[in-house]
């Protein structure tokens, strides 16, 4: 089976989740700064966790409209594919941050890692239905 990395892309922070070894359950892992070292940080995580595939949330709205971060997120996906040499799937993420806010610590508005886990778990759940 394949182990997956889930990503909730944001202009300032990137939420990260990792699946179990069977690629069926998503777990929040971390939030990394979206800076010049972001891809290197993800590459280290991919290597240490033996990731075989990546799932990135598509930043478009419920009505499938682009927002200010959509182009940046799409460029990020292109760089991920090129630099990490792994399959990258974009999946619908609308509402994941709102849903993740229910699981955030009281001191935070939401957890980027939890949002990434929600995106990844949605991907697994949709795969089961097909």
Q: Quick one: pLDDT at residue 103?
A: 54
Q: Contact at 8 Å (CB) between 55 and 7?
A: yes
The number of folded domains in the chain is 1
Domain coverage including residue 32: 4-129
Sort residue 127 into left (φ over 0), alpha (ψ -120 to 50) or beta.
alpha
CATH number at residue 38: 3.30.420.140
Q: Give strand pairing partners of 17.
A: 6, 28
Q: Quick one: pLDDT at residue 1?
A: 78
Q: CA 56 to CA 5: how far, in whole Å?
A: 8
pTM of the model: 0.85
| Residue segments in the chain with a per-residue pLDDT below the cut of 70 | 60-64, 93-110, 129-130
Could you give the 3-state DSSP secondary structure of residue 87?
coil
Chain segment 10-40, per-residue pLDDT in tens: 999 999 999 999 999 999 999 999 999 999 9
Residues 6+ apart with CB under 8 A from 27: 17, 18, 19, 20, 117
């Amino acid at each position: 089976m394949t182990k997956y990395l889930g990503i909730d892309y944001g202009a300032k922070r990137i939420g990260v989740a990792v699946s179990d070894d069977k690629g069926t359950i998503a777990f929040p892992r971390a939030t990394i700064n979206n800076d010049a070292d972001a891809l290197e940080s993800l590459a280290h995580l991919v290597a240490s966790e033996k990731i075989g595939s990546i799932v990135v949330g598509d930043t478009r709205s419920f009505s499938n409209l682009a927002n200010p971060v959509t182009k940046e997120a799409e460029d990020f996906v292109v760089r991920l594919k090129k630099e990490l040499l792994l399959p990258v799937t974009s999946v619908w993420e609308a509402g994941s941050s709102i849903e993740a806010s229910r699981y955030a610590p009281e001191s935070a508005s939401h957890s980027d890692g939890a949002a990434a886990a929600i995106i990844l778990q949605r991907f697994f759940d949709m795969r089961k239905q097909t």
